[in-house]
Structure 1
């Protein structure tokens, strides 16, 4: 049995497991396939089948970043790149799942790489949408809906299955999280009522979202509930922390030296007093 037949057999096993909704077994079986096998141009049909099966698994798990990567792999397939309709549909999915992914270093890095992709020039609306999440400015949810809701809800990402509504709610969550990060960048403190106004949320919802982001270490903040004020703290660069510590230590040693000198001086003066007496 050659490699192609083996991969076809594994893909069929994955398909059958998905038909039984056995997602864990599907993931285990998928690890038997080395994706480098798909580098050969003659395997594009198997490559597309593999990544579409993996999309189904990760969409069920809610792994948006993994799903985005699968769509990128599909987009980089010659048969997809040669078809403008398929190419643009895949690029749209890449952008949308990337926006839905939780903000972290990997997501930020992938966002900047995707923005440099020339395919996005063919879908300017989606490129503009993605840029909103890289710009340190507040995104008004009502304004975003006015501009993009109709087009977004026509895509397979936000329509067509039971998870579509959840994804739409997750998109709103990503907007709120982006806005909180922007607030943390520009504010040292802000009233909870004002933060709620900026986020289009109630004060209770604002406090809950803020608490979640603090727990996830996305922002550094403390809420003074009696006064209703949120205090933001800027994350410090490790180098700056070390320099600050070194500076504080230097100041401490100067104080110790000065204090020692003054003590010695007082002792000398005290010893000389009886002699003069």
Structure 2
């Protein structure tokens, strides 16, 4: 089993180095590792994540989603809880196995579950970006942020919270979006990101938002978010942010007025650019 998988990985690596991403993905997809009973759980997840990555790289998003469903995110939660208990007890508890199961040790170099969790949510963020599902992109960033090793390094968690702030504000208004905005705003770590916390507060407060004022006040945050508002998707995301402001303003008007003439409504913000 180990030799066969090693050869498959090597062949896929060769194909990828040759620029044949689709062929490399097809090579890996020929192995349904989730059916290998003797294969260690971490090694299975690592292999599936590599399958997902190659599918994302050649923009086969449907296949990437199908493959990603073979991984249960609860696995990462359970591992984190077990690690927390281990820290309290001072000793490592063995992983539960079936009585008759013979589980092989993972190949040397196989990442730990915490690292696999980060990779999983990074891949899922790429997938959700393909259909502009901003709310799920925010959740993916929050899931990575909510990882012990990430929380211990400000250089890692600060960009995650900054991106999560923008993605949740880009998401259409709704109960889930509103809840996530408030959760982000109340996170203690946001105190170290004063500009982004103020941005969240702007959308929580039931007051009219003016596009020009928002751009002027939060220009440093927008300029720093080149990965979000730059590139091919940048123009659309700016337009989506403008629409979110329109939604917010309409909800504010509805909250304060039962009747209002259109002349009294603030004009919609101009198109960006």
TM-score by length of 2: 0.69
2:178 match: 108
- The aligned counterpart of 1:191 is 261
Whole-angstrom distance in 1 between the partners of 2:207 and 2:238: 21
**Aligned-residue offset at 1:90:** 0.8
Instruction: Give the structure with the higher percent strand.
Output: 1
Alignment check: 8 A CA contact 1:176 1:199 kept? no
Alignment of 1:27-66 (within 5 A): 27-39=65-77, 40=79, 42-66=112-136
Write 1 or 2 for the structure with the bigger share of helix: 1
1:142 aligned counterpart, secondary structure: helix
Q: Counterparts of 1:231-250 in structure 2 under 5 Å?
A: none
Aligned-pair CA distance for 1:201: 5.1
The answer for unaligned runs of 5 or more in structure 1 is 206-277
Please, which of 73, 81, 94 is the counterpart of residue 143 of structure 2? Answer: 73
Distance 2:269 2:55 in 1: 42
Which gives a bigger RCO, structure 1 or 2 (Cα 8 Å, sep 6+)? 2
Contact 2:207 2:249 in 1 (8 A): yes
SS in 1 for 2:208: coil
**Match of residue 140 from structure 1:** 210
Aligned to 1:85: 155
Matched, 1:175 2:213: no
**Residue 48 (structure 1) shift:** 1.2
Per-residue deviation at 1:63? 0.4
Equivalent residue, structure 2, for 1:15: 53
Q: Output the CA distance in 2 between the equivalents of 1:69 and 1:106.
A: 11
Residue equivalent to 1:162: 232
Q: What is the CA-CA distance between 1:156 and the residue it aligns to?
A: 4.2
Give the superposition deviation at 1:173.
0.8
Q: Which residue of 2 aligns with 1:252?
A: none
Comparing 153-162 and 135-144, the one that deviates more: 153-162
> What TM-score, normalized to structure 1?
0.68
- Aligned partners of 2:70 and 2:144: how far apart in 1? 19
Query: SS of the counterpart of 2:173?
Result: coil
What is the aligned length? 201
Judge conservation of contact 2:209–2:245 (CA < 8 Å) in 1.
yes
Give the corresponding residue for 2:12: none
CA deviation profile, 1:45-68 (whole Å, cap 9, x unmatched):
111111111111101111000000
